[in-house]
Amino acid sequence: MTEIQTLRARLQSLTKLGSALALMSWDEEVNLPERAHEYRGEVNAQLSSELHERITSDELTSLVNKLADPEVFNSLTDDEKVIVRETKRDIDQAKKLPTEFVERMARLTTKAFSAWVEARKKSDFKIYEPVLGEILKMKIEEARLLGYKDSPYDALLDEFEPDMTVQKIDAVFKPLAASLAELIGSVRGSVPSLPARQYPLDKQVILNQKIAAALGYDLHTGRIDISPHPFTISLHPTDVRITTRYDSNDFWGALGSTIHETGHALYEQGLPASEHGTPLGEAGSLGIHESQSRTWENFVGRSRPFTSFLYPQLAEHFGAQKFSEEELYLWLNRVQPNPIRVESDEVTYNLHIIIRYELEKDLIEGNLAVADLPAAWNAKVKLYLGLDIKNDAEGVLQDVHWSHGAFGYFPTYTLGNLYAAQLFATARKALPTMDEDFAKGKFKGLLGWQRENIHRHGRRYHADELIERVTGEKLSSEYLLEHLAAKVKLNY
């Protein structure tokens, strides 16, 4: 066996351990008995630390370093170079954080999560403040361990979106924030609503399966289950599962998130199975992943042609509707600032992300003290969304992310929207009959375009490079802004 063959074999066997962990985390969200969490936590910790040890083992490190030596590296094929480059990156990153640090962070985030739950319940930031301060200290230490050039926040961002920096994000978020805040000022007071009715859950389940399959989700290599927080998990391109949650008063709650998760699943089902286990068989980045889900949810699912496809199916599954196709379209695209991020519309959602990005960057760069966070939060919500925050629970305490230590994660949501808009504009040019196709329930054209331009590459290109190669331009806020401005116009 040559060295590169040995590396492939090692990575493939490591990935099988990863698949076991993924299956357990699916099970945890979907099936776990109430009192089984503690033991499952122990099993997860054991397997995760074994996986970490194997990834950072001397044997694997020296194998990758040998292959990364310029003389050897230059003799590799392009695919092999990607595998070596990305594996080396993973190992180097993993080795920068000592086991002692990782364990300390795990203990601290467990403590922080319970403090956050209690603080949110009592709507009292003071309960959360000390432990959040400790997390922040550790994240600053983490940034130092990982290394950075300009901002410590760059090091944290890079863990979720390789090569992304404050400088690159500011270049797109700043114009987006200013234009969106202005646009929202023009939204009318009243928002469209649909007449109240019941949507039986068994019928919703059938509709969700049907729509997901129509979009291209292969239910022979996937399945849809129920969990409180919808998610997608992939063990292999032949085993990609999604979840949703149902509400009998609202068909879109489940369907919208099924379409979103289907977008994630289509990406995973489209990764090259022959490269499973190597970086070529893995998704590009969190932001690119999110761009796929948001393309299907917002650019397809909330489009006028998709409404034409969906409307008759609502009648078929739930009986005649007391609203028109056009009213459905306007309802799906209603815009109304909401203090809660996860209940926000497509337009104001991005302002929520920008608020979090600006605050966490200030915290990490030492420009904002944890004690001043609630006031800073409320001021930004007033500035960008024009809303007065009544209490900590509907303000600074609404998201779980910081208690998990996830700083640098929020931007990937809006990056996903930006990538989606720019990629979709390119796809539209390549697929002139897209709108007629969507109205007829034909989505193969778009999926084929994604497979060809995005899915098959795995981690070959980092996000900014992929965007530039596919769209011929650097990342720009222009495409998303144009898309959102059209949505706001529906709400005048």
Contact between 348 and Zn ion (CB under 5 A)? no
Report, in Å, the least distance between residue 236 CB and Zn ion.
20
Report, in Å, the least distance between residue 292 CB and Zn ion.
9
> Of 67 and 283, which has the nearer Cβ to Zn ion?
283
Report, in Å, the least distance between residue 183 CB and Zn ion.
24
Window 435-474: residues binding Zn ion (CB under 5 A): none
Q: Which are the catalytic amino acids?
A: 261
463, 287 in Cβ contact below 8 A? yes
Burial 120-130 (b: 16+ CB within 10 A, else e): beeeebebbbe
Q: Is 222 helix (H, G, I), strand (E, B) or coil?
A: strand
> Of 298 and 403, which has the nearer Cβ to Zn ion?
298
> Of 231 and 323, which has the nearer Cβ to Zn ion?
231
Choices 102-110, 128-136, 289-297, 421-429 (CB under 5 A): range interacting with Zn ion: 289-297
> Of 148 and 231, which has the nearer Cβ to Zn ion?
231
Binding residues for Zn ion, how many (CB under 5 A)? 1
Choices 25-33, 291-299, 386-394, 463-471 (CB under 5 A): range interacting with Zn ion: 291-299
Q: Is 417 helix (H, G, I), strand (E, B) or coil?
A: helix
Phi, psi for residue 223 in degrees, rounded to 5: -160, 160
Q: Is 344 helix (H, G, I), strand (E, B) or coil?
A: coil
> Of 293 and 307, which has the nearer Cβ to Zn ion?
293
Tell me the HSE value of 458 on the side-chain side, using a 13 A CA sphere.
Answer: 20
Q: Give residue number: closest CB to Zn ion.
A: 293
**Nearest Cα residue to 316 out of 213, 206, 196, 440:** 206
| Three-state SS sequence of 271-335 | CCHHHCCCHHHCCCCHHHHHHHHHHHHHHHCCCHHHHHHHHHHHHHHHCCCCCCHHHHHHHHCCC
Report, in Å, the least distance between residue 421 CB and Zn ion.
16
What is the distance between the alpha carbons of residues 272 and 201, in angstroms, rounded to a whole number? 35
**Single residue of 87, 258, 293, 350 touching Zn ion by CB under 5 A:** 293
Report, in Å, the least distance between residue 72 CB and Zn ion.
39
**Contact string 351-390 vs Zn ion (x = CB under 5 A):** ----------------------------------------
The CA distances from residue 62 to 5, 65, 84, 370, 465, in Å, are 15, 5, 12, 42, 29
Choices 3-11, 60-68, 293-301, 427-435 (CB under 5 A): range interacting with Zn ion: 293-301
> Of 403 and 417, which has the nearer Cβ to Zn ion?
417
269, 236 in Cβ contact below 8 A? no
Report, in Å, the least distance between residue 266 CB and Zn ion.
12
Could you list the residues that contact Zn ion (CB under 5 A)? 293
